[in-house]
Structure 1
Amino acid sequence: MSEAGLLADPQEVRAILVAAAKAGEAITYSEVLSFLGHHFSRPKMRQLCKVLSYVDDEAACRGEPELAVLVVRQSDGLPGQGWWIEGAKAHAYTGLWEGPKAQKLIRKLHKAAFDYWRERS
């Protein structure tokens, strides 16, 4: 995927997500957009998802854990549909995108990112 036409510089988004991982915290879509100088809107969130996909593709090439999973909905602390479409498949997860099983998977992935980046602080 090319960086051209993305909402934000993937390196800037990566830096925001690495900082969140080092702090051991998930971050909401609204917070990421705010850091990038945007107000939350559904179109902006969808554009952000394209950048998140790019960031994760690059992380995979470096052997790093995914970071897009750290970006969650304010309402329930879970990633949105954009992450689940590819993320669930990547983790062979076939359950619901909400509820206890989804939360268990996301906690596991958050912990992997938190542990990885905490060790690199």
Structure 2
Amino acid sequence: MTLGDASEVRAHLVAAAAAGHSLSYSELLEHLGYGFSRPKMRALCKTLGVVDEEAAAHGEPELAVLVVRQSDGLPGQGWWVAGGGKAHGYEGPWEGPRAAKFIRQLQQKTFDYWAMAHEGMTG
């Protein structure tokens, strides 16, 4: 498995979404068998972009929004710079209460989608 393995990264994110929780960058790297480092995080971020492109192609909500900084529970700068907020009509700050509320709402859509999809698979 490499950090470029979008299917492996996606599998971890879908499981987290179905369970209704986000993952910190370090938690996701750990699940993938890596320790946290800036180069590993940058490589992971590139893969998250691929995961979200594939999700969009299948009409699914984005998954990268579930990967957050441990310090404040918000996505890192790369998510915002890649258009994460603007893609949803949000042009506010990247940190603080407004950003946190926006991210919680976006994550909830992803949680709801995958919880329902998971129920459909098991029910």
Do both share a fold (TM > 0.5)? yes
Matches within 5 A, 1:12-31: 12-31=8-27
TM-score after normalising by structure 1: 0.92
Task: Return the match for 1:108 from 96, 105, 116.
Answer: 105
Indicate the residue corresponding to 1:65 in structure 2: 61
Q: How far does the alpha carbon of each residue in 1:73-114 deviate from its partner, in whole angstroms, 9 at most, with x for none?
A: 000000000111120221222111001110111011110000
Residue 94 of structure 1 aligns to a residue in which SS? coil
Indicate the residue corresponding to 2:72 in structure 1: 76
Task: Return the match for 2:116 from 97, 103, 119.
Answer: 119
Indicate the residue corresponding to 1:3 in structure 2: none
Residue 35 of structure 2 aligns to a residue in which SS? coil
The Cα of 1:37 is off from its aligned counterpart by 1.1
The Cα of 1:15 is off from its aligned counterpart by 0.4
1:56 aligns with 2:52: yes
TM-score after normalising by structure 2: 0.91
CA distance in 2, matches of 1:90, 1:70: 16
* Unpaired stretches in structure 1, ≥5 consecutive residues: 1-5
Indicate the residue corresponding to 2:93 in structure 1: 96
**RMSD between aligned alpha carbons?**
1.0
* Identity between Structure 1 and Structure 2 (%): 66
Aligned-partner residue type, residue 65 of structure 2: V
Aligned-partner residue type, residue 111 of structure 1: Q
Q: List 4+ stretches of structure 1 deviating above 4 A.
A: none
